[in-house]
Amino acid sequence: MTEPTGILPCQSIEALITEGAILAASPFDHDQVQPASIDLRLGSRCWRVRASFLPGRGRTVAERIEQVAMHELDLDRGAVLERGCVYIAELQERLALPAGVSARANPKSSTGRVDVFVRLLSDAGAFDDVAEGYHGPAYIEIAPQTFSVLARRGTRLNQLRLKRGATRRLRTENVGVDLSNGVAGFRARRHAPVVDLDREDGHDPRLYWEPLVPRDGQLLLDPGEFYILASKEAVEIPILEAAEMTPIDPSVGEFRVHYAGFFDPGFGTDEAHGKGSRGVLEVRSHETPFILEDGQTVARLVYEPLTERPTRLYGDLGSHYQRQGLKLSKHFKIWGE
């Protein structure tokens, strides 16, 4: 019988771990597998590199690191990754994908919300996408854009979604921005303190963010600045589906939305006690100032099917973002406390 195509749910990911298709340098954490993805963890070694790169045909990531590395950092001790610099770190997880199963990575929500740009690197030769049947190590490119960050071995910055076969798109929905009332967003402050990526609810948001109140439902984006906004519409991911928020195209505007793109099944649903959840938008303007208007389309959600119903839903293991509205990352105390 032909196996169904689509995104693999948590029980299928756990089966791949049992079968040795996903390996790790240390035991997997109890909450590492999400309803339709698995978190990836930093290993012990990290390199400051001169520039981003792909390994190229016939070369490995390790070989390229030797050519472009400036110095090595020890993540067992913890290290500050400076904004404006590019780093490559080894991941604890290693892949031995079976035939027919491919993978795609994306930053975790908390990573995107502190403006840390990350991409998966493998010897397969492409950012974030891993072809079926890949056997080899995995690395992560880390490029803090606004805040310098403290990372250590075990820090989770990205996540991996696994697919069987050619997954079809079910539908695409536009996402508008909410600029209606009161504080509608936050702009990151430059020259802020370091963000400890493993410290939850421990940073004073006033040191890092400036609240924004739109005028007449409009907000002017300054080039090079980073913003946290919220979607106009509630987002709901059905139980048998998963979604990815994709960057906008030039027809929508001269800015980029949402570094972190995965939405797991159950996000925003009644069944998972998340009805009314909004999508948080990480926005960076490009070369020119841009005026956003209330309700304007800023991103798109692409929905894909799961191969079967997941045994747990978004938020079952705890979540900082179920039933969210406008919300900073988990690293910060609630605004106004």
Which pLDDT score is estimated for 255? 57
Question: Would you say 162 and 8 are in contact if contact means Cβ atoms under 8 Å apart?
Answer: yes
- Cα 101 to its chain centre, rounded Å, is 21
Q: Decide: 76 and 153 in contact? Cβ < 8 Å.
A: yes
Q: What is the DSSP string of 268-280?
A: T-TTTT-TTPEEE
Can you list the domains of the chain with their CATH numbers?
Answer: 6-164 (2.70.40.10), 171-199+206-305 (2.70.40.10)
**Contacts of 61 by beta carbon, 8 Å cutoff, 6+ apart:** 55, 88, 121, 122, 123, 137, 139
Q: Work out the end-to-end distance of the chain between its first and last CA atoms, rounded to an integer number of angstroms.
A: 57
Q: Residues 65, 49: contact at Cβ < 8 Å? A: yes
> 195 φ, ψ to 5°?
-100, 120
Nearest partner of 24 among 138, 157, 140, judged by Cα? 138
CA 236/CA 303 separation, integer angstroms: 11
pLDDT at residue number 200? 93
So what's the pLDDT on residue 124? 86
Sequential pLDDT tens for the chain (337 residues): 578 999 999 999 999 999 999 999 999 999 999 999 999 999 999 999 999 999 888 899 999 999 999 999 999 999 999 999 999 999 999 999 999 999 999 999 899 999 999 999 999 888 999 999 999 999 999 999 999 999 999 999 999 999 999 888 999 999 999 999 789 999 999 899 999 999 999 999 999 999 999 999 999 999 889 999 999 999 999 999 999 988 665 555 555 665 658 999 999 888 877 788 888 898 887 778 889 999 998 888 999 999 999 999 987 766 666 666 788 999 999 887 5
Task: Return the residue matching tokens 């948590």.
Answer: 10
How much is the pTM? Answer: 0.93
Please report the DSSP string for 171-222 in residue order: EEEEEEB--SSS--EEEEPTTPPPEETT--S-B-GGGTEEEE--BTTEEEEP
State the residue for tokens 């973002």: 321
- Which pLDDT belongs to residue 61? 95
Residues 6+ apart with CB under 8 A from 117: 107, 142, 143, 144, 145, 259
The C-alpha atoms of residue 207 and residue 192 are separated, in whole angstroms, by 6
pLDDT value for 155: 98
